Structure 1
């Protein structure tokens, strides 16, 4: 199984794009037809240029109101150059207009995603943003030095403004390498670290935004990595946030719950920053710590079981059902300036729920890279810290199972085995997180009832699958595999849980808006391949599952997905007693070698390799299919096609694939000679 399937983290997925456009038709006409707010768009744009500052402020606030969970209205606003108008307002003579314009741009970044961010960058939004950095820093220093120098309302305004500016920069940094290079020219690391340094006195949301921005900026971005890594005080402080020595603030009730959630989000992000900049050089105290084993895993693994996804989904649906915010927004009169914060209790709770889920998503993204190179297996008795964490994780996982499993499926605990210590503590909660909920994907007939929740739930499922994919790829080449080989029950349990997840995803994955369903199937195929590769010969192929894999492979346009399906089928075909399943799979694989099949090069090579592996041992019971089906003749007939395919691979552009192709071609010729020599 090729290492090319192993990813650190899916490229640029930090940006919490909350309302995907994919279910909408293209073009402004389609957006106009689907939006119920078309008639208010023009007045908003007109008032953006008004001589009356209160009307300019109103227009900026109205943009934020209208785009909430409404991509069609956002597109209409884009068509009227709302981005350019808002960027112009960042240089407004009235401070309140500037603040509201920044808030509207921040919401456009988050709700609109990469296209809007690219538009903002092209319209030079970084020029005004860059001028705000020293102003915010100076004001922040004054407030911290003399807290009573300004009223609370003024402090809240500047903290909120800083939050908006930081979030816009965070989103822009993911837009393109050009945007990242431009952002690297701004002295952001000291600016952002100052918020973390004053986290006890600043709003948690602003501090978290600064940490999120640092997390993104240090993701494979050498200038930011080197600047942060080179200052021992910075790295030591990040470590102190993850492993606080001081007790939490003495608060009770809901305030305590909110405080703990925000503190956890900050710790998770700081774990991600530390991983991004590792290895950390001396003299930082962080250089003396095994970050993955002693900091990241103990901090992040319990987070995986901190939220019951099914319960969260049901609660979100309840809140959506009783929320009347859309009606309230549509009743806003153009004669009255809306308040900048008019959220209902349901909306506030929905945002809190989304933030809890986003913390789990960030945790999974960080763990994805770690799962590719897990620390050596450690016994829980090796140290008190590991032991304590293990106990906490077990309690959390039990709670999750009670809340999130239906009675007939409450048997997903993997059996005890000689697996590495991290196996049960990590793999089991990941299996829980791949199970879809009623809100995980948009309905087949239209958009989700609450796109932000759907977006984060599907992102959690996908990130959990990426973690599992990397775990099994890693295990396939380590001593961990040898300890698992003897425990076939583990493999069967894993296999069952992955297919249980896919049954909830469903097979209707074509059409607009169903991209995440397709992505789930593509990633799951890789995880199934990993499981099948470790427990090859121990998994009994199910005819329905085999047929689904064959159909998915045939329908997939992505060559990588085809390779994964072929690899999984190869593993299933090697169950010694499943002669009929072996025949079904091998006949399908042989059909991919026919000249009329037009199989792409990589899947073709994987098919040849699979057939060689399946029939390399002529003593196995299913080898009768090879002999009775005259497979040798079919392989001989395929040689010329394989030669042509290999010859067509560009040595310079695809050197590794060319080397692999030549190896497979040579193996095929040698295999044919071997089988001929047997005389069977």
Structure 2
């Protein structure tokens, strides 16, 4: 239940670089919180001007105005800026076209899913797919005869290519419907041409191509099959990952940080396409052990989030404000990519954080060693709409069963051995900084991109820990492995305390607008705590305050999955033999969730079954010191009174629609009957 493994998704997640969830819905709210309302109308008007200089000015102005400004972005969106910019993709002036793609690119990255979905619905792919062969042909000409091309012309084409590739990658994350449409363009060979010619191209454009390829090959059989079918593609990716900064070549645009990002992305692509075909030279490698983990581990250890947060705050304090719109004359229009020295430093820091976040995303799948549960074979599974059904068919048919088994075995054999060594580098990455979340008082962070990246890192690191400890707690592990882990109680206490230290900083106020990431981290963390509790069951000394906070979390959430995680965590704490009082507090809380017992409340089905199961597990050994609570509290009578209500609840579970839940309910019901009989027979 607590496992959060990399799996097929009904809709991909395109995180917002500059979140706007702190702004109430409606244009009025956006207008009230934006200082640039009066600038919107001139932009819309000039976007349609007959003068190409004015059209270019309008496109550049969009990029400049939305910079870290979600209110203005939402206002522009309300004025159909997306449609206006898509119209400019057929502009006769080259510079207008390039600036329009730049503005759309920035809107994609900053605005995330909603804006990308709007672009897709307004048919942005129609012009985009015509650009791909044109870029490919021009790129070939430049590479074949570089001396015949003006440097400025090359720069424009590379910038244009970067914009188009970035928009395509963002669209691919938007939905399965958008991904299917992008698949029709057959981008793999196009993107690989940038990676193959990386020594002759700007590193920023090559990295964008790698990022797009990383997204396209994530649980997407058409792209995976196309990549796996070409041996040279696999060898090219391997050469990038295993190169020792070989991209430090003559010329401009050399960045160690971008080289690291490129290597991380390529290692992620390789992981997406395992198992490698046996005929490939690369098939002799254990991709996780020999390629992915050695690439990612140094990245995770290379950064201090606290120092980065402090540096960003200092840079913001000394930053000069960007030239306001009224100073942007048509003669002196700043470029949409113009950045001050301070902004360039902030961008470098953000890029480092994003590279760490991507590394954690990849590592999360490495740490997912448990098999996925089989999907229920009914037509009522949750999805985003009809478009996702096609995607599911593709995913199911994209690999042979042998490929899936081979991939699973590859992952299991590598990850289980490495799991404990990955814990220590992750613990600092779950600790929040002053910039990790928007202020509780409302509004935006002093630098939203940094805040978005930091909170993303905390969440991804927590997902890694979640997968690690659920894998270590798995029954599939041998008794020897479980015993060796559990005997190291100090390690369990260290991790447990580290997670709680993170949660204390996050705080319990996460119901307000803009605080979604705080809530998400809490909900993830409870699953981690449960898994830690299972690995070191009976060895962790319960803390009164932590028990109280967990019970409050249970009562404050309506999510039954989170409720189950809380119950599981509390049960593990109650297993500590000498903590009789804590056991009593937990047991009385569990009984309050079970129908028929004293002061019981209406409990959702899954938490109810978990509570019953927890009581059975807690008191199945009458020799434990805390068993006195069972006897003195007359728990046997309370549980006996709950048998019929539990039977009624189980009968109410739809056998067809919720087959697995019904099976579990019947098992818990039978265990409850047998347990009550066992305890009463003891005559204690």
Asked if these proteins are the same fold (TM beyond 0.5), I'd say yes
- What's the counterpart of residue 117 of structure 1? 116
Once the two structures are superposed, the pairs formed by residues 132-151 of structure 1 within 5 Å of their partners are 132-151=131-150
Q: 1:70-112: per-residue Cα shift (whole Å, max 9, x none)?
A: 1111111111110000000000111111111000000010111
- What's the counterpart of residue 30 of structure 1? 29
Question: Structure 1 stretches of 5 or more lacking a match?
Answer: 375-418
Aligned partners of 2:108, 2:237: CA distance in 1, in Å? 27
Aligned partners of 1:561, 1:53: CA distance in 2, in Å? 55
- What's the counterpart of residue 568 of structure 2? 567
- Provide the secondary structure at the position in 1 that maps to 2:255: helix
Aligned partners of 1:636, 1:591: CA distance in 2, in Å? 14
Q: 1:457-488: per-residue Cα shift (whole Å, max 9, x none)?
A: 00000000000000011111224322112111
**Is 1:453–2:450 an aligned residue pair?**
yes
**Is 1:338–2:336 an aligned residue pair?**
no
Once the two structures are superposed, the pairs formed by residues 470-549 of structure 1 within 5 Å of their partners are 470-477=467-474, 478-479=477-478, 480-549=481-550
TM-score in terms of structure 2 length: 0.89
**Is 1:655–2:659 an aligned residue pair?**
yes
TM-score in terms of structure 1 length: 0.90
Aligned partners of 2:652, 2:4: CA distance in 1, in Å? 23
Choose the corresponding residue for 1:442, options 416, 432, 438. Answer: 438
- Provide the secondary structure at the position in 1 that maps to 2:327: coil
- What's the counterpart of residue 311 of structure 1? 307
Q: Greater shift after overlay, 122-131 or 296-305?
A: 296-305
Q: Quote how far apart the aligned CAs of 1:321 are.
A: 1.2
Answer yes or no: is the 8 Å Cα contact 1:232–1:282 preserved in 2. no
Aligned partners of 1:579, 1:586: CA distance in 2, in Å? 10
- What's the counterpart of residue 388 of structure 2? none
Aligned partners of 1:603, 1:166: CA distance in 2, in Å? 45
Q: Which has the higher contact order (CA 8 A, sep 6+)?
A: 2
Q: Greater shift after overlay, 330-339 or 125-134?
A: 330-339
- What's the counterpart of residue 414 of structure 1? none
- What's the counterpart of residue 552 of structure 1? 553
- What's the counterpart of residue 388 of structure 1? none
Aligned length: 632
Q: Quote how far apart the aligned CAs of 1:651 are.
A: 2.0
Aligned partners of 1:663, 1:158: CA distance in 2, in Å? 64
Aligned partners of 1:15, 1:210: CA distance in 2, in Å? 17
- What's the counterpart of residue 329 of structure 1? 324
Choose the corresponding residue for 1:644, options 622, 645, 648. Answer: 648
Q: Quote how far apart the aligned CAs of 1:219 are.
A: 0.7
Aligned partners of 1:97, 1:599: CA distance in 2, in Å? 60
- Provide the secondary structure at the position in 2 that maps to 1:524: helix
- What's the counterpart of residue 82 of structure 1? 81
Q: Quote how far apart the aligned CAs of 1:174 are.
A: 1.1
Aligned partners of 1:57, 1:7: CA distance in 2, in Å? 43
Q: Quote how far apart the aligned CAs of 1:277 are.
A: 0.9
**Is 1:463–2:460 an aligned residue pair?**
yes
Q: Quote how far apart the aligned CAs of 1:262 are.
A: 1.1
Aligned partners of 1:15, 1:79: CA distance in 2, in Å? 20
Aligned partners of 1:95, 1:342: CA distance in 2, in Å? 19
Answer yes or no: is the 8 Å Cα contact 1:14–1:216 preserved in 2. no
- What's the counterpart of residue 395 of structure 1? none
Root-mean-square deviation (Å): 2.0
Aligned partners of 1:514, 1:3: CA distance in 2, in Å? 22
Choose the corresponding residue for 1:353, options 344, 349, 352. Answer: 349
Question: Structure 2 stretches of 5 or more lacking a match?
Answer: 371-414
Aligned partners of 1:12, 1:353: CA distance in 2, in Å? 29
Q: Quote how far apart the aligned CAs of 1:261 are.
A: 1.0
Answer yes or no: is the 8 Å Cα contact 1:364–1:467 preserved in 2. yes
Aligned partners of 2:512, 2:643: CA distance in 1, in Å? 38
Q: Quote how far apart the aligned CAs of 1:149 are.
A: 1.6
CA distance change for structure 1 residues 507 and 11 in 2, over 3 Å: closer, same or farther?
A: farther
Q: Quote how far apart the aligned CAs of 1:5 are.
A: 4.4
**Is 1:626–2:624 an aligned residue pair?**
no
Answer yes or no: is the 8 Å Cα contact 1:58–1:337 preserved in 2. no
CA distance change for structure 1 residues 335 and 150 in 2, over 3 Å: closer, same or farther?
A: closer
Q: Quote how far apart the aligned CAs of 1:4 are.
A: 5.1
